[in-house]
Structure 1
């Protein structure tokens, strides 16, 4: 716990509470530098040690322990001042906290802050992370150290629209926001090692930023034939984690056919990308002239086959794979978004599983609750 006693001989700005400090390394009330002096600890020596290290907070605990930080961590809980009643090992007239209780003092310097905007990047909150399952899977190594500015710049340079700073010195990227728990900003109060005026997340806690200009297209044309695959964002408990997609003809009138993007196969065997439009290819019917039409949010992509099709439209582009990064197959985006795709059972077509861009409620062909989020790779 935290408590500040009356020390007229020391020019300290006293905090007015006592707080519980859990005695494990990942849950300290003050989680910066520390030292132990079993015979000579005083409030003054701890305060001098922390101030010399650039910290604005100093805390004494259990009579002989000193801890420093830039902010009181979320694990600290207010307690009565009387709980901090252990004399300091170097001055019995002063209190130095107690077992699991810490007296905290401030030198009056301002604490770091969480920048709410950095250029085109917007702060989205503090999210839980795990070393066994990273919620932003692409780590960046940054010369000169991690700051909010350097991390967002590195993520943008590598084609990602989401950046996260963690544990004061780590930078992680993705193409979509985390799906983990959104926590209080108090959980993201570890100062950036490379810039102690800013917070860079915390232990297993990500301070997350999103680029308001959207995701970054890699290319709007790809003349090489490719096949599309829908990869489930949340893999099913049984079955495949991805399914092939095909352009399938669903309606034909005289000299004109219309197709959708679905899991059901048909005459089209691959696709190419040209100036933001998709051109389906049929090896058995090479004379088919087919082009994508503009994509309407809430609907499946539509394609038209006719003797004189319009210029293929979308606008489609490729983006960095959100899971495998630049080393993985690129993903398909529409209007700068690759994270709005879903597979939805079409209730008017015997449950045919269609790809839908940005599915909408109250649609005549599917129910929103039945849709599964996917991203679409080009292989």
Structure 2
């Protein structure tokens, strides 16, 4: 038994038992452990190496800097981002088995293994869904639409769009045909026509195995309003 245990330790196949981390500011876990790479899966990745790194410290620092996504990796790395450049791929069970530099009872990712957290922009009291609206070149849905640059990935697209609009100081956001994010300060145009909800049927993937969400449709804008 002792020889077997030593062999497993040498091979690096022992999964340490870590405590569940505290995640502050009402943030949530998007990925318990995802595969990262040299190009980084978080869009606009800003990496900080901290000797006191923990998930809570990383989330707090990313939030203070205005980012909506955070990730811990390699024990002492904190990654802040604005969305995703790649789809999240689950890492092996032992992919996030490095202790946090700031608290050895907690896990902080591993070599190319990242734990990802996000600010839930769709939380109750913050954004309200207003419905599916017709949006064409001749009849735009928003009065003063500010079209955002296409996201590198449509993963978690509604959340990415709401956070992008909130960072820009806009009170309205809209997602169209799974790849278009619009922001507006004035909101829906007076003459904009409502569309049936079934017409906002384009799908965007959610993180992990959570499935898909509706992300507007062809010439159909799913409209949200910041309410809190």
Q: Normalising by structure 1, report the TM-score.
A: 0.35
1:78 alignment partner in structure 2: none
Q: 2:55 aligns with which of 134, 145, 148?
A: 148
Taking the aligned partners of 1:169 and 1:337, their CA distance within structure 2 comes to: 35
Shift of 1:172: 0.9
Note the alpha carbon deviations across 1:115-146, whole angstroms, 9 max, x for none.
26333121222111101x20014224366532
8 Å contact kept, 1:116–1:122? no
Q: More strand by proportion, 1 or 2? A: 1
Note the alpha carbon deviations across 1:190-234, whole angstroms, 9 max, x for none.
11112112110111011011123569xxxxxxxxxxxxxxxxxxx
1:176 alignment partner in structure 2: 83
Structure 1 residue runs without a partner (length 5+) = 6-13, 23-27, 31-70, 73-110, 216-293, 305-311, 324-329, 345-354, 372-379
Q: 1:130 aligns with which of 37, 47, 57?
A: 37
May I ask how many residue pairs the two structures share in their alignment? 168
Q: Secondary structure at the match of 1:171?
A: strand
1:201 alignment partner in structure 2: 109
1:210 alignment partner in structure 2: 118
Note the alpha carbon deviations across 1:240-286, whole angstroms, 9 max, x for none.
xxxxxxxxxxxxxxxxxxxxxxxxxxxxxxxxxxxxxxxxxxxxxxx
Note the alpha carbon deviations across 1:291-345, whole angstroms, 9 max, x for none.
xxx96446535246xxxxxxx7x9x8x99x988xxxxxx954565768x45467x
Q: Normalising by structure 2, report the TM-score.
A: 0.54
1:4 alignment partner in structure 2: 2
Residue 64 of structure 2 corresponds to residue 157 of structure 1: yes
2:8 alignment partner in structure 1: 19
Taking the aligned partners of 1:213 and 1:343, their CA distance within structure 2 comes to: 17
Taking the aligned partners of 2:172 and 2:99, their CA distance within structure 1 comes to: 33
Q: More helix by proportion, 1 or 2? A: 2
* Structure whose CA Rg is larger: 1
5 Å-filtered alignment, 1:133-282, equals 133-136=39-42, 137-141=44-48, 144-176=51-83, 179-183=87-91, 186-212=94-120
5 Å-filtered alignment, 1:319-334, equals 332=165
8 Å contact kept, 1:165–1:201? yes
8 Å contact kept, 1:128–1:181? yes
Q: 1:302 aligns with which of 126, 141, 150?
A: 141
Taking the aligned partners of 2:132 and 2:61, their CA distance within structure 1 comes to: 31
Q: Which protein, 1 or 2, shows the higher relative CO under an 8 Å CA cutoff with sep ≥ 6?
A: 2
Q: 1:368 aligns with which of 198, 202, 208?
A: 202
Decide which moves more: 183-192 or 137-146.
Answer: 137-146
8 Å contact kept, 2:46–2:80? yes
Residue 13 of structure 2 corresponds to residue 29 of structure 1: yes
Structure 2 residue runs without a partner (length 5+) = 124-128, 153-162, 183-195, 204-216, 219-228
